[in-house]
Amino acid sequence: MTISRAYKYRLYPKPDQFPFLSRHFGSCRFVYNHFLDLREKSCAAGTPLSGFACKRMLPSLKEEHPWLKEINSQSLQQSVLTLELAYRGFFKGLGKHPVFKSKHGRQSFRVPQHLSIRGNCLYIPKMKTALKMKLHRPVAGEIKSCTISRTPSGKFFVSFAVEQEIDTSSRNASLPAASNVEGYDLGLVNFTTSSSGEKVETPKFLRKSLGKIEKLQRSVSRKKKGSKNRDKARIRLARCHEHIANQRSDFLHKQSRKAVDENQVLCLEDLNVKGMMLYGRLGLSVGDAALGEFVRQVSYKALWSGKRIARIGRFYPSTKTCSECWLVNDHLMLNDREWTCRHCGTVHDRDHNAAKVIKTVGQDLPEVTPAEKRTSVFSMKGMRRRSKKAQAPGDDTSTSVKQEAKASR
């Protein structure tokens, strides 16, 4: 099976290489913002521009701004392509409307061709000297492109997009088919609760660092704009946010890898994370827990490992349903951590009971397949887009699962 994968490494450019990278960041950002403004004005005038039309306008833009000729032409074309993909995602309802890029946030540019790795050095077009990087693991697969980025704290990274072949048959055959099925209930008090009773407490990295963030933000606001001290305070604040993001990413990768390695079939709930973030005070906790990112990581890691994912319906009452007699307790409140079934008298732990219900319902689905996989190919030259979607059975299973649950009572 062919998969798309990314490898990220830390870059250590020399001081004389900073101007080259800064010019590339600024030029690609300028091209993106220029054509975003042009497309917005043309759309308001009733003559919308396509991505291919914008790409054909790049040579005239270089004549108008000669300093763009010093930049890799393919990197500028990738900025136009990125804008076109952002518009397509917005029109399909997959993302927000494209906005202008700022020089104060994360900076990046893409190199699609003519790059090479020699030892611990990266060679890219227009740059005569090599970029030193920390190659902590080999790049496996065929390199399709690379993206060089700079974080707000001033660190440089390179990410390689590769395609590689993996064999999932041997991994799948080495595990028992029936004994490794687990259901997971995701929450805010306990990050995950498995059907076997294991609980993982939510670390709350952002909550624990709010005091430090507020102190650093006050320090930034009190500094004079444009001063060196304000820039130093801004970097300290950016490093704090980066540390929190790294903590969260490390925790999510460890938990998702553990769940995939220990089970053959993983049963999860289809959560509306964006809707949950609108619940007032709970919104910050939902974003801090990153439940959607955990489900995403489990999904692609299960696909790579030959495991299976089952998702029950979003509106199925897994928390209110008794895992013993399947009676639905409509009077259960959010603050009820334990409840007693009025039919069979079983005392339930709220999260553990939900995990057992998710496991029972998930493994009884007609087919349990990996999560939805979507691949798309887009060509600026021919304006062609081919999309292949393999929708997993069980995405709209609220009605069928309810019928099966009633029949099993």
H or E element in which residue 91 lies: helix 73-91
Mark 8-47 as b/e (b = at least 16 C-beta within 10 Å): ebebebeeebeebbebbbebbbbbbbbbbeebeeeeeeee
- From 325, 333, 319, 312, select the one nearest 402 (Cα to Cα): 312
Catalytic residue (choose from 269, 270, 288, 364): 269
Catalytic residue selected from 84, 182, 185, 288:
185
Cα–Cα distance measured from residue 145 to residue 23, given in angstroms and rounded to the nearest whole number: 20
Q: Residue 69 corresponds to which tokens in the numbers above?
A: 């000729």
Helix (H) or strand (E) holding 299: helix 291-305
Strands 181-186 and 190-194: antiparallel
Sign of the Cα torsion 126, 129, 135, 141 reads positive
- Residue 86 CB: number of other CB atoms within 10 A? 19
CB atoms < 10 A from the CB of 290, how many? Answer: 20
Rounded to the nearest 10 degrees, how much is the dihedral formed by the CA atoms of 77, 80, 84, 90? 140
**Looking at 84, 182, 288, 351, which residue is catalytic?**
351
Catalytic, 269? Answer yes
Cβ-contact 185, 170 below 8 angstroms? no
Active site residue 37: no
| 185 noted as active-site residue | yes
Packing angle of the helix pair 291-305, 228-262 (nearest 10 deg): 50
Q: Which residues are catalytic?
A: 185, 269, 351
